Amino acid sequence: MNILMILTSHAQLGNTGAQTGYWLEEFAAPYYVFKNAGATVTLASPQGGQPPVDPKSEEPASQTEATRRLKSDAAANQLLAHTLKLGELSAKAAEAFDAVFFPGGHGPLWDLAEDPQSIALIEAMWAASKPVVAVCHAPGVLRDAKLPDGSSLLKGRHVTGYSNSEEEAVGLTEVVPFLVEDMLKDRGGAYTRATDWQPHVVTDGLLITGQNPASSAPAAQALLKLLAELRQR
């Protein structure tokens, strides 16, 4: 079982002067779900190397068992320090991996949502009948992904992602380049959500989306379930 995880390389939180990046729990929790299941995990990012982590996700209140495990995991931190460049992935990456997983954080809204290599990979994975998973802000990376007929990959799909009220609660509604909930609806997605900060995962065929950080481990578990089902077909 080979799983590709793609992290943001974007570190600037709009024009606020603050830093952003990937959300620590949204990488750590799925990573250990996959590793505990015996998966091989490959990490990539637009620029390669060490992806920026949102400093707020490193604050004490945001720590979990998975994030604490990551802090002392030399092998995992070595992988993080040397993520592959998206451009270095083989043209046959969709054949090499069983699924692609996008952790969130605000960073992906600025780079991965517009990155042509990320979009092409999503489209290739979809064409190869491989699962695509995105959590929290990361469903934003699906904004411009299209089906062969030119329609949005999101059209008619049951999806979730970071809600407008969650964005408002962290005071960034006017900072982010777009609101995930609004975009998913605008692209024709059938958006659902749970109460703010509560886990909520939606599986629609090969697409799995999670609403917020609390949804990251459940989304990874949903992926393992889906992969098991695909192997039995």
Count of C-beta atoms within a 10 Å radius of residue 73: 17
Specify the pLDDT at position 92: 75
For residue 230, CA distances in Å to 94, 98, 176 come to 16, 10, 36
**Domain containing residue 125: CATH number:** 3.40.50.880
Specify the pLDDT at position 233: 81
Calpha distance 19→10 (Å, rounded): 9
Confidence of residue 84 (pLDDT cuts 50, 70, 90): very high
Tens digit of each residue's pLDDT (9 = 90 or more) over 48-67: 999 999 999 999 999 999 99
- Overall number of domains in the chain: 1
For residue 169, CA distances in Å to 74, 172, 173 come to 35, 8, 9
Contact 138, 42 (CB under 8 A): no
Tens digit of each residue's pLDDT (9 = 90 or more) over 155-181: 999 999 999 999 999 999 999 999 999
Q: Which domain does 106 fall in, by range?
A: 2-232
Tens digit of each residue's pLDDT (9 = 90 or more) over 203-226: 999 999 999 999 999 999 999 999
* Intra-chain end-to-end CA distance of the chain, in Å: 16
Calpha distance 55→22 (Å, rounded): 9
Specify the pLDDT at position 162: 98
DSSP state at residue 74: H
Confidence of residue 89 (pLDDT cuts 50, 70, 90): confident
Alpha helices in the chain (DSSP H): 24-36, 65-71, 74-81, 93-96, 116-127, 164-169, 180-186, 216-232
Residue 91 in this model has a pLDDT that exceeds 70: no
